[in-house]
Chain A
Amino acid sequence: MAFRETVTAKWFWWMMFCLACWGPYALLSKLGSNEISSYGMQFLFTLGSIPVVLVVLARQGFKLERSRKGIIYGLVAGVLSAAGSIGFFAAFRSGGNASIITTATGMYPVVTVLVALVFLRERITWTQVLGLGFAIVAFFIFSL
C-alpha cells in the first residue's frame, strides 16, 4: 500500500523528473568535456541555465526577496558552485571514468555535514557517521 501511495504521489514524479535531468546532465558534461575545455564548458553551462532562470524570474514577476544576507549568501553559493563545476568538467577532461567521478563528487554532503558540525554547531547523527565511513571506503577504493 505504501509503495502504491508513493508511486502515485506527485512529489515522487517530480523526484523522477529531477533524476531524469541530473543523470543526463552528468553524461552530457562528460561528452562535452571530451572536446571542450572546462572553462568553455562552464560558459556554455551558464548559458544553458539562463532560460530556466528567466522562466523562474518571470513567474516571480522579475522580483527577488529583499534580503541583503540572502542575496550575498546566494551569490557566494553561485560563485562557489561555478568553481566546483569547472573542477567537475576538468576531472572529466583529465580522463576519469564518468561513473566514478559523478559518484565521488556527489559525495559532497560529507563536507557539508563536517562543515555544519564545526561552524554551524549542528549535531551529527549515527547514520551520518556511518555515511562518513562508507564515503572513506569509497574514496579508498577509487584511489586503488
Chain B
Amino acid sequence: MHIAPWLVIAAVVLVVWGVTAIFQKVTTNYISAESTLVLRTVGYLLVVPIIYPGKELFHHSLRAQSYGFLAGLLCALGCLGLFAAMKSGGKASIVGPLSALYPVIVVIFSPLVLHESITLLQGVGVLCGLIAVVLLST
C-alpha cells in the first residue's frame, strides 16, 4: 500500500501536537492560559535561530509573506477567543469539541479559496475525523 508523503507528515504532526496538548494542559496547572500562550510564542522564538531562512524569505511576494504573518496572528487570536469563551461561562465539555470543528470551515471554503475539492469517500473520511475529534474532546 502506497501512503502519500503528506499523510505521513500529517501523522507526525498529529503525534507532535498530541504531545504538545499534554504539555499545555500540564502548564495550565501552574500558570494561566494567557501566560501559556505567551510562553508558546517564546517557544516559537527559541526555534527561530534554527529555522530562519535568511534573506531568501524576502524574495517572495509581500502577499505570500502576509499569508504566513496573518496565519500566526489569527491562530493566536483564535486562542484568545477560546480562553474568553471558557471564562465567559462556556463549559469545557462543549467549548472543547466546538473548537475542534475548525476544519469544517476549511472544507466549506477550500473550493472557493483554494480551488480544491474532495471525493465523496474523502468526505466520509473528513466526517469520521470530525466525529472522532468531537468524541475525543468530550
State the interface size on chain B (CB cutoff 8 A). 108
Q: Are A32 and B68 interface neighbours, CB within 8 A?
A: yes
Q: Is the interface of A mostly helix, strand, loop or mixed?
A: helix
Q: Are A18 and B75 interface neighbours, CB within 8 A?
A: no
Q: Mark A2-15, 1 if CB is under 8 A from B, else 0.
A: 00000001111011
Bound-state CA distance A71–B26 (Å) is: 11
Q: Are B136 and A49 interface neighbours, CB within 8 A?
A: no
Which residues on A are within 8 Å of B, measured CB to CB?
9-12, 14-15, 17-32, 34-37, 39-53, 56-57, 59-60, 64-65, 67, 69-71, 73-88, 90-92, 94-116, 119-120, 125, 127-128, 130-135, 137-139, 141-144
Which residues on B are within 8 Å of A, measured CB to CB?
1, 3-7, 9-27, 29-32, 34-48, 51-53, 56-57, 60-61, 64-65, 67-82, 84-86, 88-90, 95, 98-107, 109-110, 113-114, 116, 118, 121-122, 124-126, 128-138
